[in-house]
Amino acid sequence: MRILVTGANGFVGAEIVRHLIAEGHEVVGAVRNVEDLQRRLPGVQPVRADFAEMREADDWQPLLDGVDAVVNCVGVLEEGGRDSLNAAHVDGAGALFAACAAYGPRRVVHISAIGAENDAGTGYGRSKAEGDEKLMAADLDWVILRPSLVIGRNVYGGTALMRGLAGFPGIALSANMPGEFRPVTIDDVAACVARFVAPEAPSRLALDIAGPDTMTLGDLVKTYRNWLGLRPGLRLPVPGGLVTVLAALGDVAHFLGWRTALCTTALKQMAHNVGGDPERWQQKTGIAAESLDAFLTRNPATVQDRWHAGLYLLKPVVIVAVSAFLLFAGLAYIFTTLGFYRFTPIYDYVTFQIGILYLVTPAFVLPGFLLLLQRWHRLALLLLIGIQCVAVILGLVSAVLFRSDSAYDEIEEVPIEFSIADGLSALSQIGFSLGVISVALLLLVLDRSR
């Protein structure tokens, strides 16, 4: 079969694509970033599709030529950056469903979510429910799958957050958060999709896709911590009030373009419904749901998993700290260093060193601001690296041009402390710049592990 998968480069979509290809299907991947999909999944035929732009049935018609089934995996948790709840879940998805009804194919498998209900109290739940209703109203052979917490060898969103909580050094973080999970493996979700894309499969069904075990957040963190091979550690419960504050900060991050698992929408959805019925989908498909313990035993943790878990919570802290430092340092020097060149000529070396700061430090303001914006994050890091490379060059120049035997010509006897201070000052400037470059390079690497 020739199957169109929308959101093919997402956490769930990519695994579904791999599973369908392994079963011998020809897969067309509809994504916003075609180049990224080509690099990650070279066996897929990529086509560009942006739900924010394709809100009419005719927009989808060229992508549906020769397609036997459609699997829609597009979804966003909150508004922010390029993400729109209405475009992803209602208008864009509705246009796709209308195109399938008008031009074919009739078979549509739609990945929704448990808690996609109008009374969920969130824009996510309401928009998901509206999109589901559009599909159910269409004259199609539709199947709606609503997974609980999806776990996989890779992680994204909620599962990434849980690994990050589990990987915190020496401390087992947990929060008294509402709701219980029934984690389901990505392999089971992909196998379920593969069953329902078949022409003879039952249709016009809406099924929860849930695993066999009911688990709290604390249970999941403990399980992942054991899987990572870490000692139990000191159990540190996070107060509910702090969780609420962190969720509000997550909302701010969404506004700046970052996709975070912890936000007010996630808290409300967990309080509403995140479990689901594990029986009906297994009866319809004949698939025996795999437990989390069995899945983790089958996929033992590697050093890469421990690195990711350990760095996950550190990344936003480092971004905010570096941005704050750059902004405060740059603004402070702009407003307080206008008198640097009033030093007398006998302190040429000191003047030159301060001049380096005067020239370089105000330039921190731009990358400091851009660093907080996800869209410009990488550019900010490259700017910061460039600025610090200039600072290193100037530091080396100052060390060569202003040696202790010429920097203090007008002083009859140069104290040895001055000579030592000259060298240490140049080295400290270079060391500081190299340290900033290292942090920027680390953030560049972490930026690719979102």
**Are 295 and 417 members of one domain?**
no
pLDDT at residue 351, as a whole number:
44
pLDDT at residue 350, as a whole number:
45
**Are 147 and 286 members of one domain?**
yes
**Are 198 and 336 members of one domain?**
no
pLDDT at residue 346, as a whole number:
38
**Are 308 and 369 members of one domain?**
no
pLDDT at residue 389, as a whole number:
86
Q: Across all residues in the chain, what is the average pLDDT?
A: 84
Measured between alpha carbons, how far is 60 from 55 in angstroms, rounded to an integer? 9
Alpha helices, DSSP H, located in 23-157: 34-40, 57-64, 85-86, 92-103, 123-137
Would you say 171 and 236 are in contact if contact means Cβ atoms under 8 Å apart?
Answer: yes
pLDDT at residue 360, as a whole number:
61
Cα separations in angstroms, 207 against 77, 114, 278, 369: 20, 9, 9, 45
**Are 400 and 252 members of one domain?**
no
Q: 90 is in which domain, residue-wise?
A: 2-312
**Are 68 and 128 members of one domain?**
yes
In this structure, the strands spanning 2-6 and 26-31 are parallel
Which tens digits make up the pLDDT trace of 112-152?
988 777 776 788 889 999 999 999 999 999 999 999 999 99
**Are 279 and 408 members of one domain?**
no
**Are 293 and 322 members of one domain?**
no
Q: Answer with the one of 285, 312, 339 that is the final residue of a domain.
A: 312
Q: Answer with the one of 286, 312, 338 that is the final residue of a domain.
A: 312
- Provide the 3-class DSSP secondary structure of residue 114: coil
Q: Answer with the one of 312, 336, 362 that is the final residue of a domain.
A: 312
Measured between alpha carbons, how far is 306 from 309 in angstroms, rounded to an integer? 5
Dihedral sign, CA of 357, 360, 363, 369? negative
CATH number at residue 213: 3.40.50.720
**Are 127 and 81 members of one domain?**
yes
Would you say 316 and 170 are in contact if contact means Cβ atoms under 8 Å apart?
Answer: no
- The structural domain count of the chain equals 2
Segments of the chain with pLDDT less than 70: 81, 120, 172, 174-178, 272-273, 333-362, 395, 398-426, 448-450
pLDDT at residue 400, as a whole number:
60
**Are 193 and 76 members of one domain?**
yes
Residues 6+ apart with CB under 8 A from 336: none
Six-digit token pair at 45? 């035929």
Distance from chain centroid for Cα 119: 28
Would you say 16 and 71 are in contact if contact means Cβ atoms under 8 Å apart?
Answer: yes
**Are 6 and 126 members of one domain?**
yes
**Are 153 and 172 members of one domain?**
yes
